Chains A and B, each alone.
Chain A
Amino acid sequence: MAYSSSWSRALVQISPYTFSAIGIAVAIGISVLGAAWGIYITGSSLIGAAIKAPRITSKNLISVIFCEAVAIYGVIVAIILQTKLESVPASQIYAAESLRAGYSIFASGLIVGFANLVCGLCVGIIGSSCALSDAQNSSLFVKILVIEIFGSALGLFGVIVGIIMSAQATWPTKAA
């Protein structure tokens, strides 16, 4: 084996456990960031608009619930991912199978985290516009809600792909 120093050598020498742990952290952390971002965007507009039009509060909590769902997706995927983490005998840590498992958990976490980030942002911005429009004209609420539903589907796509990705994370079980 050549002992040249190159980036590909460096990447391959990072433990798959590191990649997995970072993937799980990103899955939950960035999802919650997206959800919180969306909730404050919707919430501040909702509070201000509800002063003049108190009837909008109960209906527009749906926007907040859609944002919250994004955080729940992140929690579910993080729990699934961490059940996929197994211990591997020391000689097998840098085997190709282990690296593959580590990378797939990392990628799954990244997918879910960033899909939920943009989904939470999207639902939050639409929710803010929905609250302001509903305050002026209550027939607009249901129509804008349809847009929000399409927006929240984005997070769902991320979760589906992330779960499929992590389903193939099989660690090697015994010394080859």
Chain B
Amino acid sequence: LSDQVSFIGTVAAAGGPGAAPQGLRGWLRRAYRFATDRNDFRRNLLVNLGLFAAGVWVARNLTDIDLMAPQPVP
């Protein structure tokens, strides 16, 4: 019995550090698939929400342009 317990402990210890990168890689894989799946409604909604926020920021900060101002002399 003590051999079995020590064997189980060894297996658990070996799967610990390897399980974390496996979980992280799986999460990254799922996130990449979500970000590139053009047929996913939630993904498209999040992307367009981000674009909307970026568009509002551009409208508020980068559009105060005087089109009739004289060009700068080099």
Chain B associates with chain A: no
